[in-house]
Structure 1
Amino acid sequence: MSLFRSSIFIVTLFVSSIGWAKDLPNFTQLVKDLSPSVVNISSIQNVKPNSEMQMQGPNGEQIPEMFRDFFRGFQNPDQPRTHPQSLGSGFIISADGYILTNHHVIDQADQVLVRLNDRREIEAKIIGSDKRSDVALLKVDASDLPALKIGSSADLEVGEWVLAIGSPFGFDSTVTAGIVSAKERSLPGDSYVPFIQTDVAINPGNSGGPLFNMDGEIVGINSQIYTRSGGFMGVSFSIPIDVAMEVADQLKEKGSVTRGWLGVGIQEVTRDLAESFGLDKPAGALVAQVMPDSPALAAGFEAGDVILKFNGREIGLSSELPAQVGRVAPGEKAKVEIFRAGKHKVMTVEIGELPSQEVLASSANPPEPKATKSLGLNVRDLDSQLSERLGVSSGVFVEQVSSGPAANAGIRQGDVITSLAGSEIDSVETLSSVVADLPSNKPVPVRVLRAGNPVFMAIRVE
């Protein structure tokens, strides 16, 4: 009897698995329809040889000293050498030859070659390239090309099936599939792209290739992977097509990209910081610095404000804010909900144009300062010489940190304390007065300048 029941169970399981398998997507027709629009991209860089390059063999090996004079006679030191810079992928977005790919695929290339699905190779012109979003727009001299349909990355759902086509390791028209793992991922150094995370197998050579939904529409550009081995490990990132097309339109129109700029330095809101500011939960972007001559300064933003919403959209993590601001055209006004001194407030700000990275670096990193004194600290007032050296006009200088609340909060020797519990600190006397009124066993925010950068911490007096 038990054997009979076991047989029934096995048969039922087998039938169930067949039914489940029937529900899996079939990509066959999609691949046939979409592959002709995906291209292989090789970028060529002409490198003028130096003496070290002249002493290398065809595979990069060093030529022994005894043979170097012989090989020198066959080399022209002024003759440029052509090196393949990289291999990547791209896709056709218009019948008259516009192609999208990654900035890093064609970066510093002297020549870009596009190989179509029918094996034709055409030299491409770089219309424009944007490093911040890692998007590049190319143009080939051809007509009646099979253009792809642009979808909407905003409509993607986590768990949805997606398909990638590209040239990993130079293998053209390689197809991989998976699901959307997450949306709006922020990566270090990529503040202006809310990436789509998938488990689609992506490897070197897939960069710049398309990510499709099951309707055959482009929803992203495959751009990066997270890896510890150098190869695919199940975590891939794609640029949302909504963002990519906004960039492409600007590159096509004027060859460059302008982005919105608020002009604040922000940090994450931790649990202790949320409690110290009186927030219900750790969420939003904490303003650690308001940059000089910025839209935020003109609108009245202050260090210590917590930005909770931008144009009606909630900011859960601080990393979500730059991408939202960047997509607003300079000159447009935005509504920003902040939390200040225990109250919600809506600010209206006219968004500016994002400066160059060099200008931003000089604004965000004033001359090197240092920092703090109070609970378990030795501090002193800033004299004119110290203020000039640190580039700080107000605050107290931390000379020594011993064990205690300040050390537990993360304050270090050389920090400059500029505010505590919402009060501006302009002297040791002011600091002592504020410390005397601090509540017991409750975190309060302290703002310090460290190496020129403002940082908020939560300090708790026992």
Structure 2
Amino acid sequence: MNTQGNPVSRTRKRLLAAVASVAVAGAVGFGAVASGTVPVLAQAVAVETQAQAPGFADIVERVSPAVVSVQVKASVAPAAERGGDFFTGPDGFEDLPDDHPLKRFFREFRGDRDQDRGRRFERRGGRGQARPMAQGSGFFISEDGYLVTNNHVVQGGSELVVVMDNGDELDAKLIGTDPRTDLAVLKVEENGRKFTYVEFADDGKVRVGDWVVAVGNPFGLGGTVTAGIVSARGRDIGAGPYDDFIQIDAAVNRGNSGGPAFNLKGEVVGINTAIFSPSGGNVGIAFAIPASTAKLVVDELMKDGTVSRGWLGVQIQPVTDEIGESLGLANAKGALVNEAQPDGPAKAAGIVAGDVITKVDGKEVASPRELARLIARIDPGKEVEVTLWRNGKNETVKLKLGELPGEQQQAALDPQAPDQETGTLADLGLTVTTADDGKGLVVTDVEPDSDAAARGIQPGDVITSVNSAEVNGAADVAKAMQEAAKAGRKSVLVQVMRDDTNLFVALPVAAS
């Protein structure tokens, strides 16, 4: 039968041709198949790779035995109830008014907390006594039982207990504390037992972006490990004159205070001390005391139980661009002396207000914080060479450092009663009158839109000098400004006394 023109037959032929094409494609795509067998599709398999994600298990296994929980029996309300299981700021902040900016700042550090959360009750040694506990973290730095924690963890404690990684509870004694850096050293003695310990790293090699591993006792949980990176260096959080914190984003919470932050070698790069958090929990901003600072302080505490620091005896402030220009400094660096304190080494060596300290023993001073750290690291009684910028040139003085006193000394004024003179400094937007003691000019009025107002000068301020020249009348100020204009200066440096504190303000010289 002729099927050439049959539409059904033509359709059947096309279908058979398509099946043949699929069979050929299957052979090409999946390999030739044996004659008479049916082609089979390849089976999907799980992806495998030789690359491994970075982990911290090896580091944690090595360092965990050296990290402990620190429990403190308080003779007063536990530090934890006062926010003391993490950083609350230096002594004295509790006495500030409730609306003071620093108190609000550290209240944010503490966050709100339930009173019961900071309290632990336990029975030890069969004594059957309820023991309110504050808890923090710490770590061994020697095989004979010396360990480091934060001062605010142990402050006010009458009995100290450390809990090892394996659960052992050991009594510890306080060797020494340093509130200025918030560090403390404890000692455990356990029948000649040798402890696993860790060492401090060279934090000068720590870079932003480096991994860190934090081990500690958050919320009393003990043996907790978190990881993150170094997110910033050289942080100043207003805690004290030696602020130089490493900022990390590893999860750090209450109870982590005093615990170590490790690098990938298992070395301590910092001691977790503060967190910034509106709620008191981790938000990825934590601060650690650098290992270099901790090592110096800890060594002294282990040796003497206290820390002695050099004392220069000056009140200082930063050098701004405007202040630097008014003084003729090429770079706005150094520490501007507001006042040389009475009976201090600086005053005895002839350092005066208006000097800029640029070097100590040849080391550059970039800022007031840098000066404070440099001097603090020098032993009292040692002679140092201080480089000053004074009257447009460098000068060098030698002096013997004193020992940093416990309290700041205040200079007293010797009141007199001279005749008063009132005048105006129109170019600056100021009205002034002679001070009661005849030394300086009291600002009685400041024009709201003036350069002086923009730079913070207020009625009641006392102008004592302009470009290091004493002023006792409006004419003295005008003369100093004229001399600055002739020298090509764009600003003059005005020394102001406010509430017994010296300040320096750079004011622009009026265009001629």
TM-score (norm 1): 0.79
| Distance in 1 separating the partners of 2:228 and 2:363 | 29
Query: Residues 118-157 of structure 1: matches in 2 within 5 Å?
Result: 118-142=166-190, 143-157=193-207
Q: Is the 8 A contact 2:432 2:443 kept in 1?
A: yes
Q: Is the 8 A contact 1:202 1:232 kept in 2?
A: yes
Residue 405, structure 1, aligned to residue 451, structure 2: yes
Query: Partner residue of 1:107?
Result: 155
Residue 153 of structure 1: how far off its partner (Å): 2.3
Q: Which amino acid aligns with 1:363?
A: Q
Q: Is the 8 A contact 2:175 2:186 kept in 1?
A: yes
Aligned pair partner of 1:380 in 429, 433, 448: 433
Find the residue that maps to 2:380 and give its secondary structure.
coil
Query: Partner residue of 1:93?
Result: 141
- Percent identity over paired residues: 41
Query: Partner residue of 1:420?
Result: 466
Aligned pair partner of 2:67 in 29, 38, 42: 38
| Distance in 1 separating the partners of 2:372 and 2:424 | 33
| Distance in 2 separating the partners of 1:366 and 1:93 | 50
Q: Is the 8 A contact 2:467 2:492 kept in 1?
A: yes
Query: Partner residue of 2:479?
Result: 433
Residue 185, structure 1, aligned to residue 274, structure 2: no
Find the residue that maps to 2:358 and give its secondary structure.
strand
Query: Residues 6-405 of structure 1: matches in 2 within 5 Å?
Result: 22=52, 25-47=54-76, 82-84=131-133, 86-142=134-190, 143-356=193-406, 358=407, 360=408, 362-363=409-410, 374=425, 375-383=428-436, 387=437, 394-403=439-448, 404-405=450-451
Find the residue that maps to 2:353 and give its secondary structure.
coil
Query: Which stretch shifts more, 435-444 or 158-167?
Result: 435-444
Note closer, same or farther for the CA distance 1:379–1:157 as it changes in structure 2 (3 Å cut).
same
Q: Is the 8 A contact 1:266 1:286 kept in 2?
A: yes
| Distance in 1 separating the partners of 2:411 and 2:240 | 17
Structure with more strand by fraction: 1
Residue 237 of structure 1: how far off its partner (Å): 1.5
Query: Which stretch shifts more, 185-194 or 169-178?
Result: 185-194
Query: Which stretch shifts more, 423-432 or 213-222?
Result: 423-432
Q: Which amino acid aligns with 1:83?
A: P
| Distance in 1 separating the partners of 2:59 and 2:429 | 66
Partner deviation per Cα, 1:120-149 (whole Å, 9 max, x = no partner): 111211111110010001111222111212
Structure 1 alignment gaps of length 5 or more: 1-17, 49-57, 61-79, 388-392
Q: Is the 8 A contact 1:47 1:81 kept in 2?
A: no
Residue 429 of structure 1: how far off its partner (Å): 4.1
Residue 428 of structure 1: how far off its partner (Å): 4.1
Query: Partner residue of 1:66?
Result: none
| Distance in 1 separating the partners of 2:186 and 2:466 | 53
| Distance in 2 separating the partners of 1:399 and 1:310 | 40
Note closer, same or farther for the CA distance 1:433–1:59 as it changes in structure 2 (3 Å cut).
closer
| Distance in 2 separating the partners of 1:231 and 1:367 | 52
Partner deviation per Cα, 1:305-347 (whole Å, 9 max, x = no partner): 2222333333333222211211111112223333222223333
Residue 355 of structure 1: how far off its partner (Å): 0.6
Note closer, same or farther for the CA distance 1:189–1:427 as it changes in structure 2 (3 Å cut).
farther
Residue 198 of structure 1: how far off its partner (Å): 2.1
| Distance in 1 separating the partners of 2:224 and 2:182 | 22
Note closer, same or farther for the CA distance 1:172–1:406 as it changes in structure 2 (3 Å cut).
same
Residue 267 of structure 1: how far off its partner (Å): 1.0
Q: Is the 8 A contact 2:328 2:489 kept in 1?
A: no
Note closer, same or farther for the CA distance 1:365–1:230 as it changes in structure 2 (3 Å cut).
farther
Note closer, same or farther for the CA distance 1:443–1:256 as it changes in structure 2 (3 Å cut).
same
| Distance in 1 separating the partners of 2:346 and 2:247 | 32
Q: Which amino acid aligns with 1:323?
A: R
Note closer, same or farther for the CA distance 1:327–1:350 as it changes in structure 2 (3 Å cut).
same
Query: Partner residue of 1:456?
Result: 504
| Distance in 1 separating the partners of 2:55 and 2:261 | 16
| Distance in 2 separating the partners of 1:282 and 1:310 | 17
Residue 432 of structure 1: how far off its partner (Å): 4.1
Q: RMSD between aligned alpha carbons?
A: 2.7
Q: Is the 8 A contact 1:408 1:459 kept in 2?
A: no
Q: Is the 8 A contact 1:184 1:320 kept in 2?
A: no
Residue 191 of structure 1: how far off its partner (Å): 1.2
TM-score (norm 2): 0.72
Structure 2 alignment gaps of length 5 or more: 1-48, 78-113, 117-128, 416-422
Residue 394 of structure 1: how far off its partner (Å): 2.1
| Distance in 2 separating the partners of 1:106 and 1:364 | 35
Note closer, same or farther for the CA distance 1:35–1:366 as it changes in structure 2 (3 Å cut).
farther
| Distance in 2 separating the partners of 1:116 and 1:449 | 55
Note closer, same or farther for the CA distance 1:308–1:183 as it changes in structure 2 (3 Å cut).
farther
Residue 450 of structure 1: how far off its partner (Å): 0.3
Residue 92 of structure 1: how far off its partner (Å): 0.7
Residue 110 of structure 1: how far off its partner (Å): 1.5
